[in-house]
Amino acid sequence: MDTQCRSGEEGPVPFRSSRFFCVGSKWYFTTREGFDSGPFSSRERAEIGLKRFLHVVRMLPEEQKLH
């Protein structure tokens, strides 16, 4: 769990957990919206999958972005 304040944050540090988790030998990532993606063969592959997901989300028009 990350217990450090991020740039621009004030007040108590909110609960944070990793976006990545492993079930058996397969890796997944989760989003703030509760979307789980996977399985991936390694954590590194899950990290690449998350980067690709975030790239696609950033390209969406504002009204279509997940909230």
Domain boundaries, the chain: 20-64
Which pTM was predicted?
0.68
pLDDT digits (tens, 9 = 90+) for 15-66: 667 899 999 999 999 988 889 999 999 999 999 999 999 999 889 887 766 6
Angle of CA points 8, 11, 15, to nearest 5°: 90
Q: Classify the C-alpha dihedral 53-59-65-67 as positive or negative.
A: positive
